[in-house]
Amino acid sequence: MKHAPLLPVILFALLTSGVQSSALAINPPVTPDTPINAKNTQPQKQSSMVVQEQKEKPVTGYETIEWVKLIPKEDLDALMNPPEYLNDIQDGSEQDQFSNQVQNAIEAASNDTYQQALVSTKVLTEMNGKKIKIPGFIVPLEFDDEQNVIQFFLVPYFGACIHEPPPPPNQMIYVTYPKGLKVDDLYQAFWISGKLQTALFEDQLGTAAYTMNMDEFELF
């Protein structure tokens, strides 16, 4: 599997546009209180349901957390207070073009706490080894012979890494599940449970600062 260490910086440049709404704003992170998206409430055919018939037996002892519990305070503060210059970028302007966003992001990353937070791999060490239950959307990375997902990114909003730029690495979890998870509808959010590890994983679709071997899952 090829790795692209600079790709997260390149993709995160899309988030620096003051006119293009941030993916985190357009698609707010899933939390335990988040209502299911209207697209998820529409009647679906049985074939489009997103889980295997052999659902994992519930396992106790997992702490239910929200995504903000994985991000260091300094990074969260930086993301919640974006620099004013972002508001000065006009939609469709030369500064708004992808290539210029990339260059601007790279140049600013060295001294801009907001840009640094967008690509931050800083983690909360106290989360290492903790058994957690967290909601999110699945970005498939690898399949088995039956087209079940055995490796994926868990992300806090729909479309991340595919239709939208990826979240900061400390807002992504690389998950492995050798048994395989049948995913027919990427709009469907899941509850994922397992032991969290503070380990870096890089892929051409993004970089995760946390990893997990999944123990169980259920529909959100």
Quote the pLDDT of residue 44.
Answer: 41
Which range has the worst mean pLDDT, 2-6, 141-145, 211-215?
Answer: 2-6
Average of pLDDT values for 74-83?
A: 92
- pLDDT higher at 110 or 208: 208
Q: Summarize pLDDT for 36-78 with one digit per residue, the tens.
A: 343 343 444 333 333 444 455 555 689 999 999 999 999 999 9
- Annotate 188-210 with b (16+ C-beta within 10 A) or e (fewer): bbbbbbbebbbeebbbebbbbbb
Q: What are phi and psi of 74, to 5 degrees?
A: -65, -35
Which of these, 41, 83, 9, 66, lies nearest to 187 by C-alpha position? 41
- Per-residue confidence (pLDDT) for residue 55, from 0 to 100: 52
Helix ranges (DSSP H) in the chain: 7-12, 23-26, 38-41, 73-80, 98-108, 113-118
Please give the pLDDT value at position 196. 98
According to the model, what pLDDT value does residue 18 have? Answer: 35
Judge whether residue 23 has pLDDT over 70: no
Q: Tell whether the model's pLDDT for residue 1 goes beyond 80.
A: no
State the pLDDT confidence band at 124, using cuts at 50, 70 and 90. very high
Q: How many Å apart are CA 35 and CA 38, to the nearest integer?
A: 9
C-alpha to C-alpha distance for 135 and 65, rounded to whole angstroms: 8
Q: What percent of the chain has pLDDT over 70?
A: 61
Q: What are the structural domains of the chain?
A: 7-219 (2.40.50.870)
pTM over the 0.75 mark: no
